[in-house]
């Protein structure tokens, strides 16, 4: 029987980091023990990339060094999140099994010397991964220090080699049943792509021009299933020897090689990594976007932030620093939204190797540093929040998220490069976050009737089931906003004929889109209500909906751009262009009002984030984060767990966790 709660074992929320002591020596380990106590670390992730040390040659293991570290951590009161090292096969492995190296779409076979250089579909890799997972589980499965298992690291590496091709064909046969069905699904009647034997079917390798979109979509689906199967093999090997929860750290939000809904169902606890892509307030919004997705993947169950950086913001190929105070604010931002603590990558900043310049809890400067002081302060705060363990968050708005729709917008031959799924998803979340409303993400085929408002951005691909699900949602009283370029294609990426979006959903929206008219890069258009749009426009006609704004340019002048339809007991809203941020925020504000959705904690000024965590026994905590440079008086003073005193105001940039509200 698996013990699913990690916090029971830790006696509170988790706080700690990836710990790679093999980079250091005895005096540093001694200092680590002392600094971990100071920072109130109670969980360390060990062994993520330690394969070469654990198995120096095939099937010969060396566990002595790991025994010593686990025992040392245990003696120091630090529990262990033990990783399987399979994200980084050692050089001996790739030399013995060159066929297990990643091959790029252009045929280049990569070499070792980095990490993640393996093909998940290669039988030699899969059996080596099962073997080491099993050996670790056998040795440490019931070690008293062991809190949980961390399989692999950020699954997601793709490959286009011959092993992949063989596995892809097996998957395609199971999905389509016959070559005729595959030919039909992929539309191979066009461009002379018809397959007459399974051996002719390849992964979508480098081609002269557009790749077949059905093939590209199926390849993503196949890889997702392959990744989940590889995870399951390790998980099951571990479960044969251990009753501790098993997970893998998912990477959110911009990296989408997996159907995360399906993957989350396999995890005892959802864990995710988060690195913001812009500093300042945008980073705080990114934290919330990430945390809301992570919680939603597990259906609202408690989850855990498995990695964040103390001072790492990825701005393209530049790494920017966080603002002072962000270590605490980002940590609490995740905890507010259901995380059972916060783990960092990594504990001590490397002095050599690939990630020497990546931030850490103990920086190169050592403990006498701003970063370590903030880490210590954050550890003390997290230690005071033990009573939040197991409590959850409730949301009144859902944003729809479908991996198929994401992949559909990644295929060749689309009319605009600016139909970017990830950006659309984040843009839908941001004004809701600004409005203080807590958001769940939901798959378009999920039951969503408990949400008064549902927002559907970028559902270019919409399955028949999803279209009917959303129609019913509106008919039964929901308020639904569907945004441009949605419902254009079915689950096979075949165009919807007779007008977009998909027929049953169109009924609820009371419109029919007849023609898409993408805009030039940087082109802006004005609608009749004074709002501005970009990227996309559509020629649509109403079939029962009322027009709220029309286009004012070119052939679309006077035709509907933004509509609302009363359908059943609900409302279907349709927006046919991408509104500018402020106009979109105003629209979201209007929808919140119509749907009767209030901020989670009403009465707070803009820039103050507030989320309530609820315990099953009725206890509640408000987590408040002041993102402004001003002190903010609290409408309802209460006991703050951070200071153990009555809080009347939030200091500039400050936080509070109020009990009992």
Q: What is the closest distance, in whole angstroms, from the C-beta atom of residue 115 to ligand GAL in the complex? A: 8
What is the C-alpha separation between 656 and 611, in angstroms, rounded?
11
Any idea which residue has 């190169």 for tokens?
364
| Residue 568 CA, distance from chain mean position | 34
For residues 65 and 357, which CB has a smaller minimum distance to ligand GAL in the complex? Answer: 357
Q: What is the closest distance, in whole angstroms, from the C-beta atom of residue 33 to ligand GAL in the complex? A: 23
Residue in 55, 226, 307, 507 annotated catalytic: 307
Q: What is the closest distance, in whole angstroms, from the C-beta atom of residue 155 to ligand GAL in the complex? A: 11
**Residue 533 pairs with which residues in a beta bridge?**
525, 579
Measured over the CA atoms of residue 81, residue 87, residue 93 and residue 99, the dihedral's sign is positive
| Residue 537 CA, distance from chain mean position | 29
Q: What is the closest distance, in whole angstroms, from the C-beta atom of residue 85 to ligand GAL in the complex? A: 12
Q: What is the closest distance, in whole angstroms, from the C-beta atom of residue 296 to ligand GAL in the complex? A: 21
Any idea which residue has 């700690």 for tokens?
16
Q: What is the closest distance, in whole angstroms, from the C-beta atom of residue 346 to ligand GAL in the complex? A: 7
The residue among 410, 323, 415 whose CA lies nearest residue 371 is: 323
- Phi/psi region, residue 208 (left: phi>0; alpha: psi -120 to 50; beta: rest), is alpha
What is the C-alpha separation between 327 and 377, in angstroms, rounded?
9
For residues 287 and 481, which CB has a smaller minimum distance to ligand GAL in the complex? Answer: 287
For residues 153 and 164, which CB has a smaller minimum distance to ligand GAL in the complex? Answer: 153
What is the C-alpha separation between 658 and 12, in angstroms, rounded?
17
What is the C-alpha separation between 591 and 597, in angstroms, rounded?
8
Residue 471 sits at the vertex; the CA angle it makes with 467 and 475, to the nearest 5 degrees, is 170
For residues 273 and 434, which CB has a smaller minimum distance to ligand GAL in the complex? Answer: 273
Measured over the CA atoms of residue 281, residue 285, residue 286 and residue 290, the dihedral's sign is positive
659-to-633, 634, 635, 647 alpha-carbon distances in Å: 17, 13, 14, 10
For residues 38 and 358, which CB has a smaller minimum distance to ligand GAL in the complex? Answer: 358
Tell me if residue 266 is catalytic: no
For residues 358 and 422, which CB has a smaller minimum distance to ligand GAL in the complex? Answer: 358
Rg from Cα positions in the chain: 26
What is the C-alpha separation between 432 and 438, in angstroms, rounded?
7
Q: What are the counts of helices (DSSP H) followed by strands (DSSP E) for the chain?
A: 18, 29
Q: What is the closest distance, in whole angstroms, from the C-beta atom of residue 250 to ligand GAL in the complex? A: 10
For residues 154 and 326, which CB has a smaller minimum distance to ligand GAL in the complex? Answer: 154
The residue among 18, 21, 27, 38 whose CA lies nearest residue 383 is: 38
CB distance 504 to 477 below 8 Å = no
Residue in 22, 26, 55, 154 annotated catalytic: 154
For residues 360 and 400, which CB has a smaller minimum distance to ligand GAL in the complex? Answer: 360
**Residue 556 pairs with which residues in a beta bridge?**
none
Quick check: bond before 253 cis, omega within 30? yes
For residues 154 and 640, which CB has a smaller minimum distance to ligand GAL in the complex? Answer: 154
Q: What is the closest distance, in whole angstroms, from the C-beta atom of residue 344 to ligand GAL in the complex? A: 10
Binding site for ligand GAL (CB under 6 A): 153-154, 251, 273, 275, 307, 309, 312, 345, 355, 358
The residue among 491, 538, 531, 530 whose CA lies nearest residue 512 is: 538
Kindly provide the residue ranges of all beta strands, DSSP E only, lying in 84-230, ordered along the sequence: 146-150
For residues 359 and 378, which CB has a smaller minimum distance to ligand GAL in the complex? Answer: 359
CB distance 393 to 422 below 8 Å = no
Q: What is the closest distance, in whole angstroms, from the C-beta atom of residue 312 to ligand GAL in the complex? A: 6
DSSP letter string over 431-477? HHHHTT--EEEE-TTS--TT-SEEEE----B--HHHHHHHHHHHHTT
Strand pairing class (249-251; 271-273): parallel
The residue among 370, 395, 375 whose CA lies nearest residue 293 is: 395
What is the C-alpha separation between 292 and 161, in angstroms, rounded?
36
168-to-109, 165, 173 alpha-carbon distances in Å: 19, 5, 9
Q: What is the closest distance, in whole angstroms, from the C-beta atom of residue 310 to ligand GAL in the complex? A: 11
The residue among 286, 370, 378 whose CA lies nearest residue 323 is: 370
Give Cβ neighbours of residue 538 (< 8 Å, ≥ 6 apart).
484, 485, 513, 515, 516, 517, 561, 576, 577
Q: What is the closest distance, in whole angstroms, from the C-beta atom of residue 354 to ligand GAL in the complex? A: 8
What is the C-alpha separation between 59 and 198, in angstroms, rounded?
36
Tell me if residue 307 is catalytic: yes
For residues 17 and 213, which CB has a smaller minimum distance to ligand GAL in the complex? Answer: 17
Active site residues: 154, 307
């Amino acid at each position: 029987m698996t013990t699913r709660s990690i916090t029971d074992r830790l006696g509170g929320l988790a706080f700690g980091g990836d710990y790679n002591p093999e980079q250091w020596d005895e005096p540093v380990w001694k200092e680590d023990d002392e600094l971990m106590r100071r920072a109130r670390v109670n969980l360390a992730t060990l062994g993520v990339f330690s394969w070469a040390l654990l198995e120096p040659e095939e099937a010969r293991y060396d566990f002595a060094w790991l025994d010593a570290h686990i025992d040392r951590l245990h003696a120091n009161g630090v529990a262990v999140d033990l990783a399987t090292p399979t994200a980084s096969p050692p050089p001996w492995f790739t030399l013995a099994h060159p066929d297990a190296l990643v091959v790029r779409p252009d045929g280049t076979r990569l070499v070792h010397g980095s990490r993640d250089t393996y093909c998940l579909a290669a039988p030699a890799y899969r059996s080596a991964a099962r073997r080491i997972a099993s050996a670790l589980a056998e040795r440490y499965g019931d070690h008293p220090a062991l809190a949980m298992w961390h399989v692999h690291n950020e699954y997601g590496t793709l490959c286009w080699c011959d092993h992949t091709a063989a596995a892809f064909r097996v998957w395609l046969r199971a999905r389509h049943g016959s070559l005729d069905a595959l030919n039909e699904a992929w539309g191979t009647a066009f461009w002379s792509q018809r397959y007459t034997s399974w051996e002719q079917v390849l992964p979508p390798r480098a081609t002269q021009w557009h790749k077949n979109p059905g093939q590209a979509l199926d390849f993503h689906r196949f890889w997702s299933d392959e990744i989940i199967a590889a995870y399951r093999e390790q998980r099951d090997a571990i479960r044969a020897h251990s009753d501790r929860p098993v997970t893998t750290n998912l990477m959110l939000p911009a990296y989408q090689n997996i159907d995360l809904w399906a993957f989350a169902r396999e995890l005892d606890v959802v864990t995710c990594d988060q690195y913001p892509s812009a500093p300042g307030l945008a980073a705080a919004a990114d934290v919330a976007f990430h945390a809301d997705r992570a919680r939603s993947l597990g259906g609202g169950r408690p989850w855990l932030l498995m990695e964040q950086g103390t001072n790492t913001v990825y701005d393209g190929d530049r790494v920017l620093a966080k603002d002072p105070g962000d270590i605490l604010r980002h940590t609490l931002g995740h905890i507010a939204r259901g995380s059972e603590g916060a783990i960092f990558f990594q504990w001590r900043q490397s002095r050599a190797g690939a990630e020497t310049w990546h931030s850490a809890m103990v920086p190169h400067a050592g403990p006498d540093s701003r970063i370590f002081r903030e880490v210590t302060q954050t550890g003390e705060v997290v230690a005071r929040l033990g009573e939040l363990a197991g409590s959850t968050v409730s949301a009144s708005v859902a944003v729809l998220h479908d991996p198929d729709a994401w992949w559909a917008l990644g295929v060749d031959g689309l009319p605009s490069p600016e139909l970017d799924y990830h950006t659309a998803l984040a843009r839908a979340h941001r004004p809701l976050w600004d409005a203080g409303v807590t958001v769940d993400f939901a798959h378009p085929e999920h039951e969503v009737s408990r949400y008064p408002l549902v927002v559907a951005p970028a559902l270019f691909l919409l399955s028949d089931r999803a279209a009917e699900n959303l129609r019913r949602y509106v008919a039964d009283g929901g308020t639904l906003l569907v945004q441009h370029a949605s419902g254009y294609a079915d689950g096979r990426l075949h165009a919807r004929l007779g007008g977009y979006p998909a027929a049953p959903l169109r009924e609820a929206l009371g419109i029919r889109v007849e023609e898409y008219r993408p805009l030039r890069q940087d082109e802006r258009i004005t609608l009749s209500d004074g709002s501005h749009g970009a990227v996309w426009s559509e020629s649509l006609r109403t079939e029962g909906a009322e027009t709220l704004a029309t286009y004012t340019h070119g052939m679309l002048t006077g035709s509907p751009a933004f509509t609302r339809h009363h359908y059943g007991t609900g409302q279907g809203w349709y927006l046919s262009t991408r509104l500018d941020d402020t106009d979109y925020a105003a629209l979201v504000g209007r929808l919140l009002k119509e749907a009767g959705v209030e901020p989670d904690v009403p009465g707070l000024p803009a820039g103050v984030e507030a989320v309530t965590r609820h315990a099953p026994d009725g206890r509640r905590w408000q987590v408040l984060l002041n993102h402004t440079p001003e002190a903010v008086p609290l409408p309802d003073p209460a006991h703050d767990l951070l200071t153990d005193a009555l809080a009347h105001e939030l200091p500039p940039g400050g936080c509070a966790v109020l009990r009992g509200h």
